[in-house]
Structure 1
Amino acid sequence: MNQANEALPVTASAAQDALFDGDFAPLPDDLGFRGPVACKAAGITYRQLDYWARTNLVIPGIRGAEGSGTQRLYSFRDILMLKVIKRLIDAGISLQQIRVAIDHLRERGVEDLTQVTLMSDGVSVYECTSDLEVVDLLRGGQGMFAIALGGVWRDIEGTLSVLPTERAEARKEQADPPVTRPMLRAI
């Protein structure tokens, strides 16, 4: 991002959660959406979702994949991040610049993202927290693309209200008791 910032290192998952405290968590903490539902809500492919999860661009906030047979569960906040990333990609921003922008937001720990507008000239991403900052960027005379995060939140909230959810503990199964086998002896 193009705003000077010194921040303490934090884990990506904790920082991602910190971005959307308060009203940005309209669902219970254990309620999430499977990958295909997250893809549909954000307008991305499953391949993109899988890649972004494996490279820690967006970390599933409810449940990560834990080996064969488990599915990631994405929180409302995760899907909001996915939608923002999708809009930045659609604006022609490189994934490398998007990572810088998302990392900046995580490190900054913005309390109220409804007041943040991300703007881009196609090369760089700028964070604006006031109307004056938006006007200053537009004064340069170059074309800009803007994403008001509060608007993305309302869009996602409407989309997700009609899609199926899953509780994190619903997929947890009791482990089978360990099987004892007779020890083999060398003859």
Structure 2
Amino acid sequence: METFNSKMVSRIVGVSLRQIQYWDERGFIRPSVKLAEGRGTQRLYSFFDLVQLKVIKDLTDYGLSLQKVRRCLSYLRRSFPDTPQPLSSLRYLTDGEKLFVLTSDKNKILDVMDRQFVFSLGIGNLVRELNGEVRRITGRAGRQVAREERRAEGKRAASA
């Protein structure tokens, strides 16, 4: 297994040595290979540690505060005990304010901040489903719906 000292981690991930030390001292992200044991000892990190550190850096670069990331990580560790390193094994979305975890069900997304699921709804599928219902109920070929779809497509193309 390849290991990385703090200087290498700093260069690879793009965070300062002080930040790495701070995250370790606070128990936020600790080196999994070798902890610092006093002055002058080296911290040694695994590749998975690098992934976690990079995820934290990217989330903070995208606008999440370190406090929010810390709260989310604490929640994920409690809620997913079978996932020992949630930062390196889950998939995330953020808008800079909230953190979302993608689940195995592509329509279900976990809002980690509010600790509840949100649902994804594809409008394209909704339009097709609605068109089918219109055709079924009215018995017509849905000419009006087709015209509306073409008009909507034209507006999207013009605004792009």
Q: Give yes or no for TM over 0.5.
A: yes
Q: Does 1:123 align with 2:97?
A: yes
The higher radius of gyration belongs to 2
2:132 is matched with which residue?
A: none
Q: 1:79 to 1:91 in 2, by over 3 A?
A: same
Matches within 5 A, 1:28-43: 28=1, 31-43=2-14
Q: Which amino acid is 2:94 matched to?
A: S
Q: Give the TM-score, by structure 1 length.
A: 0.51
Confirm or deny that 1:72 pairs with 2:55.
no
Structure 1 residue 104, shift from structure 2 partner: 2.7
Deviations 1:46-72 (Å, cap 9, x if unpaired)? 111111111111011111111122111
RCO comparison, higher one (Cα < 8 Å, 6+): 1
How far did residue 79 of structure 1 move?
A: 0.9
Contact conserved, 2:83 with 2:89, CA < 8 A, in 1?
A: no
User: CA offsets, 1:152-174, max 9 Å, x none?
Assistant: xxxxxxxxxxxxxxxxxxxxxxx
Within 1, Cα distance between the matches of 2:14 and 2:71?
A: 22
- Does structure 1 conserve the Cα–Cα contact (< 8 Å) formed by 2:92 and 2:101? yes
Distance in 1 (alpha carbons) for counterparts of 2:121 and 2:36: 43
Displacement after TM superposition at 1:32 (Å) = 1.6
Measured against aligned partners, the alpha-carbon deviations of 1:24-59 in whole angstroms (never above 9, x if no partner) come to xxxx3xx42100111122111111111111111101
| Paired positions, count | 110
Aligned amino acid, residue 81 of structure 1: Q
1:72-124 CA distance string (max 9 Å, x none):
11111111110000010010001111012222332313389687321222222
Q: Give, as a single letter, the amino acid of the residue that structure 2 aligns with 1:38.
A: V
Q: Which runs of 4+ in 1 moved over 6 A?
A: 111-115
| Distance across 1 between alignment mates of 2:32 and 2:19 | 17
**Matching of residue 99 in structure 1 with residue 74 in structure 2:** no
- Corresponding residue for residue 27 of structure 2: 56
CA separation in 1, counterparts of 2:43 and 2:89? 30
Aligned-partner SS, 2:119: helix
Structure 1: any 5+ residue segments left out of the alignment? 1-27, 140-187
Higher helix share: 2
Match status 1:132 vs 2:103? no
Cα distance, 1:112–1:88 mapped onto 2, change above 3 Å: closer
